Amino acid sequence: MSDRARRDRPLGIAHAHVTHDDAGSRAPDYDDIYCARADSLDESRHVFIDGNALIARFTELAPGELFVIGETGFGAGRNVMLAWQLFAAHAPAGARLHFVSIEAHPLAAADLACMTARWPALSRQAARIAARWPAPVAGTHRVHLDDRTTLDLYFGDIEAGLTDFTGKVNAWFLDGFAPAKNPVMWSPVVCRAIAGHSAKDATLATYSAAGAVRQRLADAGFAWQRRPGHGAKKHCLTARYTGVPAPPEIYPLPWYSRVPAAPNTQRIAIIGAGIAGATVADALARRGFEVTVYDGQGIACGASGNRDGVLNPRLAAEASPRTRFDLAALGYAGRWLADLDDTGTLWQRHGVLQLARDEAEHRRQQRLVARLSLPATVVQACDRAEAAAHAGQPLPGDVQGALFFPGAGTVAPSELCRALLARHMIGPVTDDIVALTRGNGSSATGWQLQGQSGAIYHADHVVLAAAGAANQLCGDIAPQQAVAGQASVFTLADTTSAPACVVCDTGYITPARDARISVGASYDPHATALAVTEAGHAANRARLSDVLAETAMQVVDAVTVGRTRFRSVSHDRMPLVGGVPDIAAWRADYQDLARDARQTIARPGTLWPGLSMSLAHGSNGLLRAPLAAEILASQLAGEPLPIAADLVAAIHPGRWWIRQIVKGRLAPERGSA
């Protein structure tokens, strides 16, 4: 798919059309059955579990080993839930299971509930999936089923899903509608893509034994074998991949290399205890890595220490990388926060309202919702009256309308950082790291970290998660701008005047928590100091009065607190997530791009061994950092990634350097070839 075609496509996905009766559930659009009421679990076990010998393979896994199952056609999740249940029963402690399932037409929640109710033996698994069922938006949706089982649900066409997928599969479930009813699911292109994503000796199972399916699998490198079918079906298929596995990095361009996988026995040092560092620490610790966090100022002492933060996606009127990344981040953050905190202590799903103060912005918002075709559970285009209803009070006279994100809300960032580290008993080392040296004392690999205290620490891998420290320690960081912002906390005499949701204009205004609201934040790219000023409070008070006059009238003047902190932003306002490029090698390897930027140079981008980053989240750290952490941890753990391959490139730390090389601004160093 071309970049233009990807940007122009709508992102909303139509729910499946399903009918239910005593015999089971059917898909009229395909004139085929989802599942019969009788013995469908027995069929799933016979065809997919036994066809891939999963119980034996689960039993033989080593502690810490990853097993990946790919599926074409999630449906109601019968195969996934059954395999998950059997993995929990048979796999050794520490082994991990990862599902990647592609579904063109996700079920509506009511249809999902109706169908899974037929399988009481899977009621616990069904309840978990239902509780975290994603909105019908194109792309990958990561769901943590339990501490060692992950499900990546891809909503969209099968060919796009396999193109976007980054990973290797050990066992495949081919469970689309019958080839005669849905031929695209069984096409030669799909079979070749499945082969391209297959690990060495990967297996495959399907209920279809059609001759065309057998031939296409054989052409793609699978050795197939017919088995007795289930029930009235004469045959089903099992197969083993006998081809040579494709290289693990399948990206739009070869220089956007992923961080090499590392055994989870490695020691990981994370520099920075703000939201970026804390989320990376959590994601790695959940996978069994030994994690130490270093920050001389302690936990959440930068912008992550503000009283309130906002999940505030910024969408364009096209499916741009930033739009798609923020949508993926919003969905993931909502599920992740719900897993972490079901009491409302750390976050509140109030919804976020983005005001349109003129007709041009209102038209842009309406065009955005129309072009992207997103469901109302994700974003709504509101008129003036609807916006006021969401806010719970009158809005300024020039407000034409708004965008409303019902799944967004506020987070207590400092409390969140502390909770993430506490859940893994990670006590940060309060020492600023002032130097990094290759070699960890016992060998040439790894890193030696020198603290400002004079102490020397060692790690196998270092994650840079604080912009200031990263710029000081490593010269190969793409330029970032430090932008100061002051947030003010106002106490209200009457909290009934507080907004019912977060209201965003040039800044944000939060609902009341303990009779206080947060207003912010100023945006000063020229500031060099972090002073909290009365002028800053006055500006935030004026912002509040301009947007929510009724709330402003209830402010108790004598009680005002605030914080000013720097936020780091990149040149294109996208985060920097991934490995750290070896710029000397990139200069030499990709110098020909300056003469012809359209060529592909088939050399993977050289990265500094054992060094990666999660930086430049700007004012969107609470929205983006959880997904960024999951991306980085997935790379280190050798897992499939939770975003499409082109989005990996869009956040890769090497993208700025490639642009400089293309423009002729980064010539090879003297003497290099």
Per-residue pLDDT tens over the stretch 90-117: 999 999 999 999 999 999 999 999 999 9
∠ CA(405), CA(408), CA(414), 5° rounding?
155
- DSSP states of 62-108 as a string? PTT-EEEEEEE--TTSHHHHHHHHHHHHHSPTT-EEEEEEEESSPPP
Task: Report pTM.
Answer: 0.95
The single-letter code of the amino acid at 537 is: H
Residue 564 has pLDDT above 80, yes or no: no
Q: Strand 433-438 to strand 447-451: parallel, antiparallel, or no bridges (unpaired)? A: antiparallel
Helix (H) or strand (E) segment spanning residue 647? helix 645-651
Alpha helices in 373-483 (DSSP H): 384-391, 413-422, 467-473
Q: Looking at residue 665, what is its pLDDT?
A: 84
CA distances from 391 to 265, 394, 522 (A): 50, 8, 22
Residues 329 and 481 sit within 8 Å (Cβ to Cβ): no
Residues 438 and 245 sit within 8 Å (Cβ to Cβ): no
Residues 251 and 649 sit within 8 Å (Cβ to Cβ): yes
439-488 pLDDT, tens digit per residue, is 866 566 799 999 999 999 999 999 999 988 898 898 767 778 888 888 99
Task: Indicate the pLDDT class of residue 669, thresholds 50, 70 and 90.
Answer: low
Residues 545 and 497 sit within 8 Å (Cβ to Cβ): no
**Total residues found in the chain within this entry:** 673
Alpha helices in 201-274 (DSSP H): 211-219
Helix (H) or strand (E) segment spanning residue 475? none
Q: Name the region of 180 (left: φ>0; alpha: ψ -120 to 50; beta: rest).
A: alpha
User: For residues 263 and 135, what is the distance between their CA atoms, to the nearest angstrom?
Assistant: 34
- DSSP states of 264-281 as a string? TTSEEEEE--SHHHHHHH
Q: Looking at residue 163, what is its pLDDT?
A: 92
Return the beta strands (E) in 335-475 as ranges.
347-348, 352-356, 380-383, 401-405, 410-411, 433-438, 447-451, 456-459, 461-464
Residues 396 and 353 sit within 8 Å (Cβ to Cβ): no
Q: Give phi and psi for 517, each to the nearest 5.
A: -120, 155
To the nearest 10°, report the CA torsion of 61, 636, 192, 225: 0
Residues 157 and 193 sit within 8 Å (Cβ to Cβ): no
Burial 332-342 (b: 16+ CB within 10 A, else e): bbbbbbeebbe
Helix (H) or strand (E) segment spanning residue 570? strand 555-570
Kindly tell me the number of DSSP H helices and DSSP E strands found in the chain: 21, 30
Residues 143 and 134 sit within 8 Å (Cβ to Cβ): yes
Least confident of 242-251, 271-280, 551-560: 242-251
Q: Looking at residue 109, what is its pLDDT?
A: 97
Burial 305-314 (b: 16+ CB within 10 A, else e): bbbbbbbbbe
Residues 325 and 624 sit within 8 Å (Cβ to Cβ): yes
The fraction of the chain above a pLDDT of 70, given in percent, is 96
Task: Indicate the pLDDT class of residue 249, thresholds 50, 70 and 90.
Answer: low
- The DSSP bridge partners found for residue 383 are 401
User: For residues 637 and 263, what is the distance between their CA atoms, to the nearest angstrom?
Assistant: 7
Mean pLDDT (whole number) for 404-428: 96
Structural domains of the chain, ranges and CATH numbers in brackets: 3-241 (3.40.50.150), 259-345+407-479+571-581+608-655 (3.50.50.60)
- The DSSP bridge partners found for residue 36 are 24
User: For residues 238 and 330, what is the distance between their CA atoms, to the nearest angstrom?
Assistant: 39
- The DSSP bridge partners found for residue 96 are 66
Q: Which of 294, 303, 302 is nearest to 271 (CA)?
A: 294
Residue 72 has pLDDT above 60, yes or no: yes
Residue 566 has pLDDT above 70, yes or no: yes
Mean pLDDT (whole number) for 361-371: 97
- The DSSP bridge partners found for residue 309 are 411
